[in-house]
Amino acid sequence: MTKTILVIGHVWPEPDTTAAGCRMIQLLETFLAFGHVVTFASSAGKTVYSKDLFAIGIKEESIELNHPSFDAFIKQLNPDVVVFDRFMVEEQFGWRVAEFAPNAIRILNTEDLHSLRKAREEAHKPHQEFHISDWVKHDMTLREVASIYRCDVSLMVSTYEMDILDELLHVPENLLFHLPLMLEVPTAKSIKEWPKFIERQHFITVGNGRHTPNIDSIKILKQVVWPKIREKLPQAELHVYGAYLPQLVQEMHEPKQGFYIDGWLENLDQTMQNTKVLLAPIQFGAGIKGKLLIAMKNGTPSVTTSIGAEGMQGDLPWNGSISDNWETFANAAVALYQDELKWENAKTHGIQLLHAFFDKEKLQKSFMDLIDGLKKNLVEHRERNLMGRILQHQTLNSTKYMAKWIEAKNRCQG
């Protein structure tokens, strides 16, 4: 049965610059694939990298914060499902959806646990060791978990993040749904067509410059890891790709040392297939890392950290190596680069991971089954979520009246 879907975005999706943008397009394409009518709305402005959603059959709507026009818009649309892209959007629009489209299924797309990313970043800046209790006590954790309770279900990309919500904060299992990035698993035919070990060369790293862990990762490569690799592989090059790379990264461009800042790249797949190894020395952050999945789906082994691989592999071997020690990290990268058998095994492990956890066809079906089940049992589902009902009543009343006050203030100033 055709459903009307409203997705409220924190930003307009940029699938060519961020993993979050890829994730959003995957969700939108899933709704379309099952015959649903989709509207994407956002209060943000578009950029040159924003996807043309209209071209793929999605209605676009520009909305305003703290403005009653949204109430009229959602009443007229009367959606069956509303997806909030990140908890900040649910804080802004959740009460309006609950009031003017009360029968719509409310889904929170977490992308990652922003509170976990924030707590890790704050510990990293003064070079303190991060403890999970830092996250439990963080103010943003309270906000994010409250948003999870207020929604009917939250989409989680990382199994690790599901585990800590369950084990440390006792968030009910039925409020969380594991839906990682969804990829078309390479076929045997496409795998045979990939460039072979002998045909590939150099190293690659990828990251949006607006994401702090990526900047930190590039610094670590430039200052620590790459000199160790270059010492053993003097002809090798490292190419850094990504949109929005700041000046401090641009200034790291040093061809004499084989360190190239190449910036944004439109066709990353082709470049990835011609590269031998991806490097991702990620020291903090959350969620699952799109760059590591792009490497897997193009047959490129990777070397990353425990945080880089977090929530992505279960009990299966990694698509390369995992190390938090930079000496070991560099040695692992050199070994993969030089040893064809190691490299081939790592490539095979990546394909196995894609089959096990990121198969688009399986994940799309399980997601649609979830929505159908919620639609049939929404009243009972909400009755079991006592904490969500309490938070909906208490927290959103205060949010609602603050929004009403801002509306009135804006009218007076206008």
pLDDT reading at 408 higher than 90: no
Tell me the average pLDDT across 134-154: 96
pLDDT at 109: 97
CB 349 within 8 A of CB 321: no
Confidence of residue 368 (pLDDT cuts 50, 70, 90): very high
Its CATH architecture, for the domain 4-182+360-413, is 3-Layer(aba) Sandwich (3.40)
Convert the pLDDT of each residue in 35-72 to its tens digit.
999 999 999 999 999 999 999 999 999 999 888 899 99
Confidence of residue 125 (pLDDT cuts 50, 70, 90): confident
Classify 3 in phi/psi space as left (phi over 0), alpha (psi -120 to 50) or beta: beta
pLDDT reading at 248 higher than 80: yes
d(CA 280, CA 221): 9
d(CA 97, CA 105): 10
Return mean pLDDT, the chain. 94
pLDDT at 135: 96
CB 97 within 8 A of CB 143: no
pLDDT reading at 413 higher than 70: no
pLDDT at 62: 96
Convert the pLDDT of each residue in 261-274 to its tens digit.
999 988 899 999 99
pLDDT reading at 395 higher than 70: no
pLDDT reading at 369 higher than 70: yes
d(CA 8, CA 84): 5
pLDDT at 396: 65
pLDDT reading at 139 higher than 80: yes
Convert the pLDDT of each residue in 308-345 to its tens digit.
999 999 999 999 999 999 999 999 999 999 999 999 99
Look at 52 and 404; give whichever has higher pLDDT: 52
Same fold, 4-182+360-413 and 188-357: yes
3-state secondary structure the chain: CCCEEEEEECCCCCCCCCHHHHHHHHHHHHHHHCCCEEEEEECCCCCCCCCCCHHHCCEEEECCCCCCHHHHHHHHHCCCEEEEECHHHHHHHHHHHHHHCCCCEEEEECCCCHHHHHHHHHHHCCCCCCCHHHHHHCHHHHHHHHHHHHCCEEEECCHHHHHHHHHCCCCCHHHEEECCCCECCCCHHHHHHCCCHHHCCCEEEECCCCCHHHHHHHHHHHHHHHHHHHHHCCCCCEEEECCCCCHHHHCCCEHHHCEEEEECCCCHHHHHHCCCEEEECCCCCCCCCHHHHHHHHCCCCEEECCCCCCCCCCCCCCCEEECCCHHHHHHHHHHHHHCHHHHHHHHHHHHHHHHHHCEHHHHHHHHHHHHHHHHHCHHHHHHHCHHHHHHHHHHHHHHHHHHHHHHHHHHHHC
Pick the CATH number of 188-357 from 1.10.10.60, 3.40.50.2300, 1.10.3470.10, 3.40.50.2000: 3.40.50.2000
pLDDT at 402: 72
CB 268 within 8 A of CB 241: yes
Confidence of residue 221 (pLDDT cuts 50, 70, 90): very high
pLDDT at 146: 95
pLDDT at 127: 77
pLDDT at 414: 60
CB 180 within 8 A of CB 288: yes
In the chain, domain spans: 4-182+360-413, 188-357
Tell me the average pLDDT across 393-403: 71
Convert the pLDDT of each residue in 6-22 to its tens digit.
999 999 999 888 888 99
Classify 337 in phi/psi space as left (phi over 0), alpha (psi -120 to 50) or beta: alpha
Segment among 10-19, 173-182, 183-192, 217-226 with least mean pLDDT? 10-19
For residue 244, which of 28, 6, 11, 64 has the smallest C-alpha distance? 11
Convert the pLDDT of each residue in 198-212 to its tens digit.
999 999 999 999 999
pLDDT at 16: 85
Distance of CA 223 to the CA centre of its chain: 27
pLDDT at 352: 98
In percent, how much of the chain has pLDDT > 90?
87
For residue 310, which of 332, 292, 287 has the smallest C-alpha distance? 287
Q: Which two tokens stand for residue 203?
A: 């190293």
d(CA 25, CA 195): 28
Convert the pLDDT of each residue in 64-119 to its tens digit.
988 889 999 999 999 999 999 999 999 999 999 999 999 999 999 998 999 999 99
Half-sphere exposure of 1 (CA within 13 A, CB side): 9
Burial of 315 (0-12, 13-18, 19+ CB in 10 A): exposed
The phi, psi pair for 280, rounded to 5°, reads -145, 75
Beta carbons within 8 Å of 236's beta carbon, 6+ residues apart? 201, 202, 203, 229, 230, 258, 337
